[in-house]
A and B are shown apart, each in its own frame.
Chain A
Amino acid sequence: MLRYALKRLGLGIIIVSVAMMMLFAMVYVIPGDPASVALGPRATQEMVESLRARMGLDQPIWIQFARFYMSAFRGDLGTEVLSGRPVLTVVLEQLPFTLTLIAGAISWSVLLGIPLGCIAAVKRGGFVDRVIGVLSVAVIAVPSFVIAIYSLLIFAVALQWLPAIGAGEPGNVISQLRHLILPSLAVGLGWVGYIARIVRASMLETLEASHIRTARAFGLTDRRITYSYALRIAVLPTITLLGVGIGHMLSSSVFAEIVFARPGIGKLVYEAISVRNYPIVTGAVLVTTVFFVVVNVIADIVIGALDPRVRASFD
Chain B
Amino acid sequence: MTVLDIRDLSVDFATESGALQALRKVSMSVPENRIVGVVGESGCGKSTLINAILGLLADNGEVTSGEILFEGTHDLTTLAGTAMRDLRGQKIATVFQDPMGALNPVLSVGRQMRDIQYRSNLSRREKDARSIEMLRKVRIPDAEQRLVQFPHEFSGGMKQRIAIAMALMMEPSLLIADEPTTALDATLEVTIIELLKELQQQIGCSVLFISHHLGVIAELCDEMIVMYAGEVVESGTTRDVFHNARHPYTRKLLACDPARLTHRARRLPTIPGTLPDLRNRPEGCVFQARCELADATCSRMPPDEEIAPGHLARCWHTEASVMIGAGA
Contact = CB atoms under 8 A, between A and B. Distances in A.
Partners in one complex: yes
Interface of A: 209-211, 213-221, 224, 229, 232-233, 306-309, 312
B98 A217 contact: no
Question: Interface on chain A toward B: helix, strand, loop, or mixed SS?
Answer: helix
B146 interface: no
Interface string B79-120: 000000111111001101010011111111000000110110
A214 B85 CA distance: 13
A221 B106 contact: no
Nearest 4 interchain pairs by C-beta:
A219-B89, A218-B89, A219-B88, A308-B150
B54 interface: yes
Central interface residue in A218, A306, A307, by most chain B CB within 10 Å: A218
A211 B104 contact: yes
Contacts of B163: 214
Nearest to B101: A210
B106 A308 contact: yes
A219 B106 contact: no
B198 interface: no
15 contacts: A210-B101, A211-B103, A213-B56, A216-B54, A216-B56, A216-B88, A217-B94, A218-B88, A220-B116, A220-B118, A224-B115, A308-B105, A308-B108, A308-B152, A309-B106
A216 B119 CA distance: 14
Nearest to B166: A218
Contacts of B194: none
A30 B282 CA distance: 79
Contacts of B104: 211, 214-215, 229, 232-233
A53 B44 CA distance: 85
A214 B103 CA distance: 7
Contact of A218 (B93, B105, B106, B108): B93
Interface string B57-87: 0000000000000000000000000000111
Nearest to A306: B106
B126 interface: no
Contacts of B96: 210, 213-214, 217
Interface in B159-194: 163, 166
A211 B159 CA distance: 12
B219 interface: no
B89 A312 contact: no
Interface in B104-150: 104-108, 115-116, 118-119, 150
A224 to B, nearest CB: 7
Nearest to B86: A219
Contact of A232 (B88, B93, B106): B106
A132 B136 CA distance: 48
A55 B166 CA distance: 71
Interface residues of B, number: 29
Contacts of A210: 96, 98, 101-102
B166 to A, nearest CB: 7
A309 B107 CA distance: 10
Nearest to B152: A309
Contact of B89 (A220, A233, A306, A309): A220
A232 B87 contact: no
B76 to A, nearest CB: 13
A312 to B, nearest CB: 6
Contacts of A232: 104, 106-107
B116 A218 contact: yes
Contacts of A224: 115, 118
A221 B82 CA distance: 9
A217 B54 contact: yes
A216 B93 CA distance: 10
B100 to A, nearest CB: 9
Nearest to B84: A219
A229 B98 contact: no
Contacts of A217: 54, 56, 88-89, 93-94, 96
A220 B115 contact: yes
A3 to B, nearest CB: 16
Contact of B105 (A211, A215, A219, A221): A211
B71 to A, nearest CB: 16
Nearest to A307: B106
Contacts of A309: 105-106, 150, 152
Contacts of B93: 217-218
A240 to B, nearest CB: 15
A229 B89 contact: no
Contacts of A220: 89, 115-116, 118
Given A217-B96, A218-B88, A211 B101 contact: yes
Contacts of A307: 105-106
Contacts of B88: 216-219
A210 B87 CA distance: 20
B74 to A, nearest CB: 14
A33 B297 CA distance: 100
A229 B107 contact: yes
